[in-house]
Amino acid sequence: MTESEPGSATARTVILTVDDDPGVSRAVARDLRRRYGGEHRIVRAETPAAALDALRELKLRGDLVAVILADYRMPDMNGIEFLEQAMDVYPSARRVLLTAYADTGAAIDAINVVDLDHYLLKPWDPPEEKLYPVVDDLLTAWLAADHKPVPETKVVGHRWSARCSEVREFLARNQVPYRWYPSDEPEGARLLAAAGADAMRLPLVVTPDGTALVEPDDQELASRVGLATSPAADFYDLVVIGGGPAGLGAAVYGASEGLRTVLVERTATGGQAGQSSRIENYLGFPDGVSGAQLTDRARRQAAKFGAELLTAREVTGLEVHGSGRTVRFADGTGVSAHTVLLATGVSYRRLDAAGLTELTGRGVYYGSALTEAPSCQGEDVYIVGGANSAGQAAVYLARGAKSVTLLVRGESLAASMSHYLIQQIENIPNISVRPFTEVVEAHGEDHLELLTLRDTRTGERETVAAHWLFVFIGAAPLTSWLEGVVDRDAAGFVLAGPDLAPGGQLPPGWPLERAPYHLETSVPGVFVAGDARAESAKRVASAVGEGAMAVMLVHRYLERL
């Protein structure tokens, strides 16, 4: 059974509580109604099934749910399982688990499983001290967020179009809700006709306000779906270039410490880590966290502290003018600051094999397993690479694929993949590893159809049927635009601190009397953090740490200006 406050207006937001103990259920509803009944509807349920039914009814009526409180110990479905299903109906509702002292371990685990906002120990008397402050904070946070239903962007395209794949990837990684319509299916054809668009010019993107965009580039797409693309000011304390873990970490710490901070990202925040289906060795997440979840939290955290985040802006140059540093964009515009942090990360190296370039985005993908995974259901999938990113993709794709084959040039995965991930792969029956194997050619007309594989020991070749190939090899730094400005090593990674001049000497051409700070490049006031730095650890945790350290060094630099 469910109940709400008598005479309550449907326009008011809802606080829902579920507990299988009738006495506790009534007590929770009573305490909530006493404090919040004037502005919110209080809905009570005594079973998870009844609560889910109530949530679905509210959803159909268009009502908003702000907070959900669920008891942990309930028959048929515990509180964590209930909150997982409730998230599918109202993902923005704040979630609270009611627990006994003996269940605090489960409550802590739920922080990772269902992104739990808080857990309350029963009893919570007096509510003025233990219940109301918690709910007050959750309601404030909920009201501050954009919790209104978000109209979907529509994308019409061809399954095997490289640009259509890129657009879907761009929207997904930037957390823009969209729905995909194949151009050769009835609804896709109807949208094309309504927009007066040509089926030969795809993709067609229809924004929530009804604007039709034909073959938009990333910057046009970003601006039309509500992403910021232009800086609000001309001058900042810190410009962060790159939105991976290092850049996001710097944006959070820079903005939270009062620096006027703007982050510039060419595609989507998160970097390579943001594309990971599951990161299980990041501190504080024992059950793992997806790259998208971690990125979304970091992005919201940076924005909360006042950092600006610009998307779809490609940086092409860095200029030094006295104490100012100017970052140039591809369109010739720029933004200036006292300091700059290079957090450009790395990209997956392109696989040098015949036919791959022509089929990229049409069955051959570089690091886009999350977006393409639904299309791989029941298919045979091949992955090139032996490091963690390849292993995480294999585990994720194996959930729906018929088979997943890891192609590794070396003897085994042990040389480059974490032990925990190797163990997972060994225990998944539809994942196999082929050592001493490389791809030498890809075949297909409008999409990938066949792969030619070669045994690196014997030279023997084999051709296999394949519609899906995901490549996760090597790390190429995105630093070519710094040529002639900032010192780099032979591979293109940025040199900083002691690596600029081993032995404690001042680097050649260094204009200051002091030595460069640890993350400072050959240009004073320009710092580097994360994977783009020479000799970096290439781990998410170290990248975040370097981003935070860079902000500390930025403060030190600014104090001496």
Residue 116 — pLDDT band, cuts 50, 70, 90? confident
235-347+476-559: CATH topology: FAD/NAD(P)-binding domain (3.50.50)
Are 199 and 214 within 8 A, CB to CB? no
Domain 2-144 has CATH 3.40.50.300: no
Lowest mean pLDDT among 128-137, 304-313, 451-460: 128-137
Q: How far apart, in Å, are the Cα atoms of 554 and each of 258, 337, 549?
A: 12, 12, 9
User: Across residues 205-225, what is the average pLDDT?
Assistant: 92
Burial of 232 (C-beta count, 10 Å sphere; 0-12/13-18/19+)? exposed
User: What pTM did the predictor assign?
Assistant: 0.75
Are 533 and 496 within 8 A, CB to CB? yes
- What pLDDT was estimated at residue 286? 82
Topology match between the domains 2-144 and 235-347+476-559: no
pLDDT in tens, 474-508: 778 999 999 999 999 999 999 999 999 877 789 99
Residues of the chain with pLDDT > 70: what percent? 94
* Domain residue limits, the chain: 2-144, 153-221, 235-347+476-559, 356-471
Are 442 and 450 within 8 A, CB to CB? yes
Q: Which regions of 158-195 does DSSP assign to beta strands (E)?
A: 178-182
Are 51 and 70 within 8 A, CB to CB? yes
356-471: CATH topology: FAD/NAD(P)-binding domain (3.50.50)
Residue 422 — pLDDT band, cuts 50, 70, 90? very high
Residue 10 — pLDDT band, cuts 50, 70, 90? very low
153-221: CATH topology: Glutaredoxin (3.40.30)
